[in-house]
Structure 1
């Protein structure tokens, strides 16, 4: 059976952020579904709720699981949601998991500061897009530069989504994840703060730090991230072959 990949985007962006990964997987003949969470991308007019986000991930995972072992891949907020989802007490049909740029606990002063910063940028002229564009121009290669914003930016959803993350019990969820798990962080990612704790709590986890890379590891170093996708897929294929043997 062919590994099926489900990709969950981060806050404000959409399924388009995964264009380089979807193309890479397509070239390899690996099915991939990059979904849009409520309030983002093609679902911009919908209200974001945790229940709606988890239902979206669950529908995609269960549909994919009918065709083969599922590799779930989440970035930033999508990674945090996917940790909580994969670590449910009733285990979902996830065979492997990549959690990118999401090794921080979204609570307390850290979350409050992040929300304040996001609201401050949003209050700038043009909702701060001139600043975001300048950062993206300087950090992302031309091949992925436009991918993060191609599906639009979920400005009105951002604070609601950030606030909702505070109820997630990620530490308990991590201890229930019993599938191969890769934490992938950029060297300069602000969400690296709890990476060693996260890796220690998950029974079958590896921590990979990509040098000279920011929070946007999927777009800043797409070839490296795609190689790590290949590693995860090879691992799941080996497990399937071993089970069949």
Structure 2
């Protein structure tokens, strides 16, 4: 049995291939790992982005088989950890808030700023301007990737294709989320993982207050694409979350065994 089932959600315009530096070490650590292409990205690049379709993909990866009898799906068996970065992080938070019992832990990376207000509108206007470029922004996308990422990381970002037409749909959908309210409804452990120099960590403390008991991991030297800039450190943060979920699953198994044996013990005591 694997230690955990981990589902990885990529950032906007990239695809599941951005996680290639996490797949091998996570699998080597005994984790069952699935990198998902969100709608309008990667293998699904011809589709329109929608939150509903994204949720369907996430749930299918987290819960590939009908759960056995129990309140928490396959718990206390294999823990399910959802990991999302940037767009994937916002989708992961909203999924966790609206699908109780479908996961056991959440890593929300590079998404510690509410997507709203002037910043959101400015981002939307910039995205619209970029889309009007002759190449719809592909050259600018690749140039920025080369500035901030290693050559290998750039290949990981573009290997699954670049979703040039997704910005309006995805940013508009995320802008409708009430991030703080969603965080307050989540009933599983949350880890916020941010690069030290990520411009999306401006409201980090606000997010921590919205999710009491959540933990913060700041990775030194990393920028927004933290899993690509510092892949080993990011993988270590995910494995730390896996270890905590394993510990919690072991406690639940012990509790289940105790509950199962309690009637037998009571019967023996009565007979004596």
TM-score normalized with structure 2 length: 0.84
Instruction: Give the Cα–Cα distance (whole angstroms) in 2 for the partners of residues 9 and 48 of structure 1.
Output: 13
Instruction: Give the Cα–Cα distance (whole angstroms) in 1 for the partners of residues 151 and 199 of structure 2.
Output: 23
1:186 matched residue in structure 2: 195
Among 77, 93, 99, the residue aligned to 1:83 = 93
1:26 matched residue in structure 2: 27
State the Cα deviation string for residues 37-96 of structure 1 (Å, max 9, x = none). 1111001111111111112112222227647210100010111011111012x5132111
Greater shift, 205-214 or 77-86, is seen at 205-214
1:102 matched residue in structure 2: 111
Instruction: Give the Cα–Cα distance (whole angstroms) in 2 for the partners of residues 154 and 138 of structure 1.
Output: 19
Instruction: Give the Cα–Cα distance (whole angstroms) in 2 for the partners of residues 47 and 126 of structure 1.
Output: 20
1:141 matched residue in structure 2: 150
Contact conserved, 2:10 with 2:36, CA < 8 A, in 1? Answer: yes
2:247 matched residue in structure 1: 238
Kindly state the Cα deviation for residue 176 of structure 1 after the two structures are TM-superposed.
1.4
**Cα distance change of structure 1 residues 130 and 45 upon mapping to structure 2, 3 Å threshold:** closer
Question: What secondary structure does 1:5 align onto?
Answer: strand
Q: Which sections of structure 1, spanning at least 5 residues, go unmatched?
A: none
Instruction: Give the Cα–Cα distance (whole angstroms) in 2 for the partners of residues 211 and 130 of structure 1.
Output: 29
Instruction: Give the Cα–Cα distance (whole angstroms) in 1 for the partners of residues 10 and 80 of structure 2.
Output: 17
Q: Given the alignment of the two structures, is residue 71 of structure 1 paired with residue 93 of structure 2, yes or no?
A: no
Between Structure 1 and Structure 2, how many residues are aligned? Answer: 244
Contact conserved, 2:80 with 2:103, CA < 8 A, in 1? Answer: yes
| Shift >4 Å, 4+ stretches | 64-67
Contact conserved, 1:5 with 1:32, CA < 8 A, in 2? Answer: yes
Q: Given the alignment of the two structures, is residue 201 of structure 1 paired with residue 235 of structure 2, yes or no?
A: no
1:163 matched residue in structure 2: 172
Instruction: Give the Cα–Cα distance (whole angstroms) in 2 for the partners of residues 204 and 177 of structure 1.
Output: 11
Q: Which sections of structure 2, spanning at least 5 residues, go unmatched?
A: 66-72, 255-272
Kindly state the Cα deviation for residue 125 of structure 1 after the two structures are TM-superposed.
4.2
Q: CA RMSD in A?
A: 1.7
